[in-house]
Amino acid sequence: MAQTHAKLSEKGLLTPDNCVVTIIDLQPQMLFGVSNFDRQSIINNNLVLAKAAKVFGVPVVLSTVETKSFSGNMWPQIQAVFPKQEPIERSSMNSWDDKNFVSAVERTGRKKIVLSGLWTETCVALPTIQAIHDNYEVYVVEDCCGDVSQLAHDNAMKRVVQAGAKPVTALSVMLEWQRDWALRDTYDAVMDIVKNHCGAYGIGVEYAYTMVHGAPPTKYLEYVIPTAKK
């Protein structure tokens, strides 16, 4: 996590100091039902959001629903970003009905919520609408969300936008937090996320570093084949 970061002007924009990220129900059973977006992309985009939140020191609330009886554990890729943070377990589809979840958001003191979750029509739309009713400003990270059909997702996004939510993407949130490439305290970490998770953009960064600026190629850990457990 970045220990310090520059204070950015707000004027209606997201900054690392004015928002909280909520990551809701990123669990196997919820992803199984998604059919409107590529599911691997949803995992990837949530990693962009999660890692960016850690880089910029933005508070994160993790939550899961019916882990043992139906949905399974939070994806290990996301839990690895926050290894010491236990997701708030719920029985309610609407996390805003859960007092522990709402209390966790309230404790941050932030009134802007950057929200990701599955599925869009329930675990995203319901808390978004009620949080807006309670005077929060909600930014739904659309490419981190998904639903059982394109119609379900589209209708849910229309509903939250009509309620006052702002649709964003994981990359747009990260770049809004960075804002200025001269801010070096987070620059390298942001570029690492871009190179690992942002497809052609990341490959373009690698090309510019090596071919234009003469930097050495990025080095990744050598792939080691897992040994069979006996």
pLDDT band at 6 (very low <50, low <70, confident <90, very high): confident
pLDDT per residue as tens digits for the range 93-132 = 999 999 999 999 999 999 999 999 999 999 999 999 999 9
pLDDT (mean) for 34-62: 98
Tell me what pLDDT residue 160 has: 98
Tell me what pLDDT residue 4 has: 64
Tell me what pLDDT residue 2 has: 41
Q: What is the 3-state secondary structure (H, E, C) of 131-183?
A: HHHCCCEEEEEHHHCECCCHHHHHHHHHHHHHHCCEEECHHHHHHHHHCCCCC
Q: What angle do CA 214, 190, 181 make, to 5 degrees?
A: 70
pLDDT per residue as tens digits for the range 192-228 = 999 999 999 999 999 999 999 999 999 999 999 999 8
Q: Please determine, for residue 5, whether its predicted confidence score (pLDDT) is greater than 80.
A: no
DSSP one-letter string for 29-54 = HHHHT--SS-HHHHHHHHHHHHHHHH
Two tokens, residue 84: 């010491």
Rounded to 5 degrees, what are φ and ψ at 216? -70, 150
Tell me what pLDDT residue 197 has: 97
Rounded to 5 degrees, what are φ and ψ at 5? -150, 155
Tell me what pLDDT residue 175 has: 98
* Residue 109 and residue 134 in contact, taking contact as beta carbons nearer than 8 Å: no
CA Rg value for the chain: 18
Task: For the chain, give the percent of residues with pLDDT over 90.
Answer: 96
Q: Please determine, for residue 18, whether its predicted confidence score (pLDDT) is greater than 70.
A: yes
> What is the C-alpha to C-alpha distance for residues 199 and 204, in angstroms, rounded to an integer?
9
pLDDT (mean) for 21-34: 98
Q: Please determine, for residue 44, whether its predicted confidence score (pLDDT) is greater than 90.
A: yes
Average per-residue pLDDT in the chain?
Answer: 96
Short-list 107, 9, 10, CA closest to 61? 107
Strands 88-90 and 112-117: unpaired
Two tokens, residue 198: 């942002």
> 11 in the Ramachandran plot: left (φ > 0), alpha (ψ -120 to 50) or beta?
left
How is the beta sheet containing 19-24 ordered, strand by strand? 88-90, 60-65, 19-24, 112-117, 137-141, 166-168
> What is the C-alpha to C-alpha distance for residues 47 and 44, in angstroms, rounded to an integer?
5
pLDDT per residue as tens digits for the range 158-171 = 999 999 999 999 99
> What is the C-alpha to C-alpha distance for residues 66 and 90, in angstroms, rounded to an integer?
6
